[in-house]
């Protein structure tokens, strides 16, 4: 880490780089950062910013290995370890402020894992940042999460408010990805009913510091709590939370912040999800239709909306209609693939050697590595092809097309051999055929 003071020339270069970045003039930003790094070769903050801009501009969010190697190299120069071990409950260190540069580096490393769908690694890095036990701890029990695992939570790990926001939101998204809905519900309750003087040492989190960090994102945390309540089956709590949030948005009670306001479609979708769980299928479909199915083919919104409508119809036992909607969803996914995945990569997955037709299909792990090198990482992360294939197989099963459903589940079992739900569905196909 560089402790040298900035010269006037370096300050001007840094300001120009910052302005160029926010104006999305990445080429100029990169040139300024290179110039700055030449004058300050030991400044790890400049090196990290240069690596990020290079990943955005030059690599176009592709070639993730190169970006990861840059982060590892910067970490070595900082003396920071990116190999995180699980914290022991009996030896949890006391919360202490983390240098902003260290936290920013670890956050970027966690983001890289998150978009590569390596959620357990993401959670481990963030748990270490916030001084709590990892969910992957051998003795983890969700019922004890609120009382034990969060007792040493460092709610304000850095002095940078925006960075603290990013850390906590990524951790919440990771809990959702890991299906740790009860843990997320406990965490949101802690943040929304936080007593800074009791929960953590006063030297680290006084009332003013807590309000400065989380006062302007309270409604966003409530959205996460609503999502967790729905997924945990706390429908009464979810309904009350939804009504309160709707009133807050209608009365323009959103607090100004650097974060975008809550999109009304988010509340409409969550309201539809509540109707779905309460068997009010007609209301759920009306609300989903209100959000709209039209959209840019470069996004996944049309596909996800068709998928959600299909799930509602399946639960309402309208299997034929659900099948039509799932096929529209698959078509929308194909359109998304055409706009994001290069043709040579699309052909690689199922390509076979013309001279040897028995050439095996490219293994999923190897193919995913190829995707990460050729596809923007956010597109790789967002693609819901496999969940949609599972839903389509389920629709075939419920439509008494057991053989077609079996073939679809077999494909999924080859990709996710340790998923018990898929094997149970395969067994169900066999039972239905024998009836």
Closest among 243, 207, 201, 4 to 97, alpha carbons compared? 201
Question: Between these two residues, 196 and 353, which has the higher pLDDT value?
Answer: 196
Distance CA 134, CA 128 (A): 8
Domain range holding 343? Answer: 292-352+360-434
Q: What is the mean pLDDT of residues 395-400?
A: 94
**Looking at the domain assignment, is residue 422 inside a domain?**
yes
Contacts of 229 (CB under 8 A, 6+ apart): 185, 235, 237, 238, 241
- Per-residue pLDDT at 134: 74
**Looking at the domain assignment, is residue 21 inside a domain?**
yes
DSSP 358: T
Residue 195 tokens read as 């007593």
- Per-residue pLDDT at 256: 44
Q: What is the mean pLDDT of residues 221-249?
A: 93
245 and 311 part of one domain: no
126 and 176 part of one domain: yes
Q: What is the mean pLDDT of residues 128-151?
A: 64
- Per-residue pLDDT at 25: 94
**Looking at the domain assignment, is residue 274 inside a domain?**
no
Question: Between these two residues, 280 and 434, which has the higher pLDDT value?
Answer: 280
61 and 168 part of one domain: no
**Looking at the domain assignment, is residue 283 inside a domain?**
no
Burial of 420 (0-12, 13-18, 19+ CB in 10 A): exposed
Residue 212 tokens read as 């400065």
Question: Between these two residues, 5 and 149, which has the higher pLDDT value?
Answer: 5
144 and 263 part of one domain: yes
Q: Which of 24-38, 96-110, 295-309, 365-379 has the highest mean pLDDT?
A: 24-38
Residue 375 tokens read as 């596809």
Q: What is the mean pLDDT of residues 275-299?
A: 82
Which CATH number is 36's domain given?
1.25.40.10
365 and 403 part of one domain: yes
Mean pLDDT of the chain: 80
- Per-residue pLDDT at 48: 94
Secondary structure of residue 24 in the 3-state scheme: coil
Neighbouring C-beta atoms of residue 202, cutoff 10 Å: 11
Question: Between these two residues, 266 and 139, which has the higher pLDDT value?
Answer: 266
Beta-carbon-side half-sphere exposure of residue 377 (alpha carbons within 13 Å): 20
Percent of the chain with pLDDT over 70: 73
Q: What is the pLDDT of residues 9-20, one digit of tens each?
A: 889 999 999 999
Cα distances from 288 to residues 210, 312, 313, in angstroms, run: 37, 10, 12
**Looking at the domain assignment, is residue 272 inside a domain?**
no
54 and 137 part of one domain: no
Point out the domain boundary residue: 65, 85, 105. 85
- Per-residue pLDDT at 6: 81
263 and 299 part of one domain: no
Binned at pLDDT 50, 70 and 90, residue 293 comes out as low
Question: Between these two residues, 144 and 125, which has the higher pLDDT value?
Answer: 125
Secondary structure of residue 355 in the 3-state scheme: coil
249 and 123 part of one domain: yes
Point out the domain boundary residue: 62, 85, 108. 85
Domain total in the chain: 3
- Per-residue pLDDT at 259: 44
**Looking at the domain assignment, is residue 390 inside a domain?**
yes
pLDDT at 86 over 90: no
Q: What is the pLDDT of residues 25-79, one digit of tens each?
A: 999 999 999 999 999 988 989 999 999 999 988 888 888 888 999 999 999 988 8
Q: What is the mean pLDDT of residues 244-253?
A: 73
250 and 325 part of one domain: no
Least confident of 46-55, 339-348, 399-408: 339-348
**Looking at the domain assignment, is residue 142 inside a domain?**
yes
Q: What is the CA radius of gyration of the chain?
A: 24
Question: Between these two residues, 332 and 122, which has the higher pLDDT value?
Answer: 122
Secondary structure of residue 361 in the 3-state scheme: coil
Binned at pLDDT 50, 70 and 90, residue 202 comes out as very low
256 and 320 part of one domain: no
77 and 165 part of one domain: no
Which CATH number is 306's domain given?
1.25.40
Binned at pLDDT 50, 70 and 90, residue 222 comes out as very high
Distance CA 394, CA 396 (A): 5
- Per-residue pLDDT at 58: 87
Neighbouring C-beta atoms of residue 345, cutoff 10 Å: 16
247 and 311 part of one domain: no
Q: What are phi and psi of 145, to 5 degrees?
A: -60, -50
Point out the domain boundary residue: 41, 62, 85. 85
**Looking at the domain assignment, is residue 430 inside a domain?**
yes
Binned at pLDDT 50, 70 and 90, residue 190 comes out as confident
Question: Between these two residues, 375 and 266, which has the higher pLDDT value?
Answer: 266
- Per-residue pLDDT at 425: 96
Q: What is the mean pLDDT of residues 91-115?
A: 82
Closest among 86, 129, 87 to 106, alpha carbons compared? 129
């Amino acid at each position: 880490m560089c402790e040298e003071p900035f010269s006037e020339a370096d300050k001007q270069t840094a300001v120009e780089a910052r302005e160029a970045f926010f104006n999305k003039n990445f080429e100029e930003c990169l040139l300024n950062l290179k110039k700055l790094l030449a004058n300050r070769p030991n400044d790890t903050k400049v090196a990290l910013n240069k690596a990020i801009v290079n990943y955005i501009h030059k690599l176009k969010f592709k070639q993730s290995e190169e970006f990861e190697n840059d982060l590892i190299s910067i970490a070595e120069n900082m003396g920071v370890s990116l190999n995180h071990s699980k914290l022991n409950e009996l030896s949890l260190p006391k919360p202490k402020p983390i240098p902003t540069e260290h936290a920013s580096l670890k956050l970027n490393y966690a983001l890289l894992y998150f978009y590569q769908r390596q959620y357990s690694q993401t959670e481990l890095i963030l748990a270490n940042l916030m001084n709590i036990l990892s969910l992957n701890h051998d003795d983890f029990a969700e019922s004890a999460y609120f009382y034990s695992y969060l007792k040493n939570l460092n709610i304000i790990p850095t002095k940078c408010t925006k960075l603290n926001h990013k850390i906590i939101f990524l951790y919440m998204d990771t809990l959702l990805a890991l299906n740790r809905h009860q843990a997320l519900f406990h965490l949101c309750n802690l943040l929304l009913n936080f007593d800074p003087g009791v929960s953590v040492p006063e030297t680290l989190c006084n009332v003013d510091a807590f309000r400065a960090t989380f006062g302007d994102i309270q409604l966003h945390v409530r959205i996460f709590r609503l999502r967790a309540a729905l997924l945990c089956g706390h429908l009464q709590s979810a309904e009350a939370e939804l009504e309160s949030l709707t009133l807050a948005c209608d009365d323009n009670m959103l607090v100004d912040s650097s974060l975008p306001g809550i999109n009304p479609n988010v509340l409409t979708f969550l309201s539809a999800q509540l109707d779905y769980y309460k068997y009010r299928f007609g209301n759920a479909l009306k609300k989903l239709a209100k959000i709209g199915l039209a959209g840019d083919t470069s996004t996944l919104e049309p596909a996800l909306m068709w998928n959600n409508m299909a799930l509602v119809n399946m639960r309402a036992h309208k299997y034929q209609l659900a099948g039509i909607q799932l096929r529209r969803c698959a078509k929308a996914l194909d359109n998304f693939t055409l706009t994001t995945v290069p043709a040579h990569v699309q052909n690689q997955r199922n390509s076979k050697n013309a001279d040897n037709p028995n050439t095996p299909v490219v293994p999923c792990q190897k193919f995913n590595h190829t995707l990460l090198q050729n596809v923007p990482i956010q597109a790789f992360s967002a693609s819901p092809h496999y969940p949609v294939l599972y839903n389509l197989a389920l629709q075939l099963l419920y439509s008494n097309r057991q053989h077609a459903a079996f073939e679809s589940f077999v494909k999924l079992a080859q990709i996710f051999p340790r998923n018990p739900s898929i094997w149970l569905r395969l067994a169900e196909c066999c039972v239905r055929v024998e009836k």
